[in-house]
Amino acid sequence: MPEMGNSLRAAALLAFVVLSILVSLLISSVQQFGARISHFSNATISVDEEELASLRGALVYQLNERRKEIIPLLLPGDADENRLPEESRHSSQHGEGLDSTLDYTVWNEITLGSRKAHLDEMGCDSLVDMQAMEVLGSGYTKLVVKVNLAGGQRVALKLVNEQGIDMSKCVEDFKDPLGCRELVSYKLKKEIVLLQRLQHPNVIKLKGHCAGVQGGGGGEGGRVTVILEQGNPLQMIQLLQSPWEDRFRVCLDLVRLLHFLSQSPLGSVALLDFQPRQFVTVSGELKLTDLDDASAEETACQTDADCTLQFPHRNFTLPCSARGVCEGLNEKRNIYNAYRYFFTYLLPHQAPPGLTRLVDHIMNSTGELKADINQTLEAFEHILHLYKSGLHLDNLPPSIMKDYTLMRGMGTSGNVEYRCWPSYSQQGCVLSVHSAREAAHICNSHTQCNSFTLTGQKTWTGRLLTSFRSSFSHLVPDGTSEVYVKKTKVLDNSTV
């Protein structure tokens, strides 16, 4: 059985090589680095032994610094689990001279996969016979690839971008491709730990990871791949064209995430690289997918002047607390970034009239940093309650329904559609409503509308999807639908 496990791991690691080649061919945007990478194998020939030793020492120092960043993120008591033999602490070929005060058990748990796994956690064996579908994204450090596993499950893999800027610059500096792969992979290793510590519905789910054996055969030492649930990159242009309800959901999910980060197991966490590209959607739910630039460090201060948040067009000064740290700086940074990257574009436009005052209050309080994350979340949840319950529609008179004839258990055929924006359908006008009364109000405001159908389908808030149209040729039985026709239209048809 151990031999079978080793062969599976070898197959998985071989798959990484193939995948790296595939990705290299797919990403034309990094071809300019090809000239630099082509000399990797000859890099060490042009330097003498003394320089190599100096460069190796500098690389080992950088490796130690990255390890020190990760160890404080581990759960209390983790250092006592799965304690490994002494010799395994020095299995890396770059491990000589490392700081003996560091706990290499926790490091080996990350790099060698020796941490106790959950029963449903994926490892190297899960990646055997995987099929790479497409590249979802690439950056200075990492590649994200959409993959179908052998059993048909779809996942996303994060791995080191072998042609990225970080890898290229490291090899130029240290002349050691294998050591540089290990150094660059630290962002992935840090992300594994953060995903384990920061589990939340709006953080991408870590399904497992695969770590290459340090100093193993085939040159695969230092390879690390993170296995994640698969999401769709957040498309802001597409989102801007979506109904307000879907845009509100993204903002609400973001605020719920920031509320969690403000009091996470690591303390208050700031997202230092706060951009829409750091997020994906899974079944319509927003999820943070890039955590390597998350930081739980508190900014030390002596006076309030040391606690300035600087943004391109605004600066904010926060209080320096009695214990010498900037009070609420991480939380406030997250709130303002949410305001300038998300709320400004997604929240106010076409907000329901009964909610515009509350939306404006959120825009003002977050744009001026007048509210903390607890108050911001409370404001969002209040809007959600009003929207789902229909309480924001209290000013619609019940008499609005007297202009319509109801036909239960019926649908329509031969429809003459018209378009409205934004709509859940590009071929017609499909909107969400709380009730038939709201639908009648919308129909009355559209000059083309003469009837509407409550389809029985619901959105994430429980609101009903409703189709509005100019006319239809005849009714058809449909147990899930209700058709409302303007009485003037009924009279016109009966005359004909």
Q: What is the mean pLDDT of residues 436-448?
A: 95
Output the domain CATH number for residue 449: 3.50.4.10
Does the pLDDT at position 24 exceed 90? Answer: no
Q: What is the mean pLDDT of residues 415-435?
A: 92
Q: Using 50, 70 and 90 to split pLDDT, how confident is the model at 408?
A: very high
Q: What is the mean pLDDT of residues 112-132?
A: 70
- Asked whether residue 13 is assigned to any structural domain, the reply reads no
Output the domain CATH number for residue 144: 3.30.200.20
The pLDDT tens digits for 123-169 are: 888 888 888 888 888 888 888 999 999 888 999 999 888 888 988 89
Q: What is the pLDDT of residue 227?
A: 93
Give the CA count within 13 Å in the CB-facing half-sphere of 127.
35
Q: What is the mean pLDDT of residues 52-69?
A: 86
Q: What is the pLDDT of residue 34?
A: 37
CB 108 within 8 A of CB 84: yes
CA distance 383 to 391: 10
The pLDDT tens digits for 329-340 are: 999 999 999 999
Same domain, yes or no: 240 and 305: yes
Q: What is the mean pLDDT of residues 252-281?
A: 95
Does the pLDDT at position 119 exceed 50? Answer: no
Does the pLDDT at position 35 exceed 60? Answer: no
- Asked whether residue 351 is assigned to any structural domain, the reply reads yes
Same domain, yes or no: 241 and 388: yes
Q: What is the mean pLDDT of the chain?
A: 81
- Asked whether residue 283 is assigned to any structural domain, the reply reads yes
- Asked whether residue 238 is assigned to any structural domain, the reply reads yes
Give the CA count within 13 Å in the CB-facing half-sphere of 176.
23
Measured from the Cβ of residue 235, the count of other Cβ atoms closer than 10 Å reads 12
What are the backbone angles phi and psi of residue 389, rounded to the nearest 5°? Answer: -85, -15
> 119 versus 190: which is more confidently predicted?
190
- Asked whether residue 85 is assigned to any structural domain, the reply reads no
The pLDDT tens digits for 172-225 are: 888 888 888 888 888 888 898 899 889 999 999 999 888 864 443 333 556 789
Q: Using 50, 70 and 90 to split pLDDT, how confident is the model at 368?
A: very high
- Asked whether residue 172 is assigned to any structural domain, the reply reads yes
* Residue 436 CA: distances (Å) to CA of 295, 304, 305, 407: 48, 55, 56, 12
Percent over 70 (pLDDT), the chain = 77
Does the pLDDT at position 273 exceed 70? Answer: yes
Q: What is the mean pLDDT of residues 367-378?
A: 97
Count of domains in the chain? 3
CA distance 286 to 212: 31
Query: Domain boundary residue among 182, 199, 230?
Result: 230
Q: Using 50, 70 and 90 to split pLDDT, how confident is the model at 16?
A: low
Same domain, yes or no: 188 and 239: no
Structure tokens at 356: 């515009």
Catalytic hit among 80, 99, 129, 273:
273
CA distance 224 to 193: 13
User: Rg (Cα) of the chain, in Å, rounded?
Assistant: 28
Does the pLDDT at position 244 exceed 60? Answer: yes
Q: What are the residues whose beta carbons fall under 8 Å from the beta carbon of 381, sequence distance 6 or more?
A: 252
CA distance 252 to 160: 32
Same domain, yes or no: 323 and 341: yes
pTM: 0.82
Does the pLDDT at position 444 exceed 90? Answer: yes
Same domain, yes or no: 119 and 208: yes
Same domain, yes or no: 202 and 241: no
- Asked whether residue 277 is assigned to any structural domain, the reply reads yes
Same domain, yes or no: 299 and 316: yes
Same domain, yes or no: 262 and 161: no
Q: What is the mean pLDDT of residues 440-466?
A: 95
Same domain, yes or no: 154 and 208: yes
Same domain, yes or no: 152 and 203: yes
Nearest Cα neighbor of 227 from 123, 125, 115, 116 is 123
Query: Domain boundary residue among 230, 265, 280?
Result: 230
Residue with tokens 């079944």: 283
Output the domain CATH number for residue 315: 1.10.510.10
Q: What is the pLDDT of residue 5?
A: 54
CA distance 339 to 402: 43
Structure tokens at 464: 């009903």
CB 233 within 8 A of CB 209: no
Domain, as residue range, for 422: 404-489
Query: Domain boundary residue among 339, 368, 393?
Result: 393
Q: What is the mean pLDDT of residues 3-7?
A: 48
Does the pLDDT at position 45 exceed 50? Answer: no
Q: What is the pLDDT of residue 57?
A: 86
Q: What is the mean pLDDT of residues 293-312?
A: 92
Same domain, yes or no: 241 and 345: yes
- Asked whether residue 348 is assigned to any structural domain, the reply reads yes
Q: What is the pLDDT of residue 54?
A: 87
The pLDDT tens digits for 253-266 are: 999 999 999 999 99
99 belongs to the catalytic site: no
Same domain, yes or no: 242 and 383: yes
Q: Using 50, 70 and 90 to split pLDDT, how confident is the model at 282?
A: very high
Residue with tokens 């992979």: 185
User: Can the peptide bond before residue 352 be classed as cis, meaning omega within 30 degrees of 0?
Assistant: no
CB 379 within 8 A of CB 358: yes
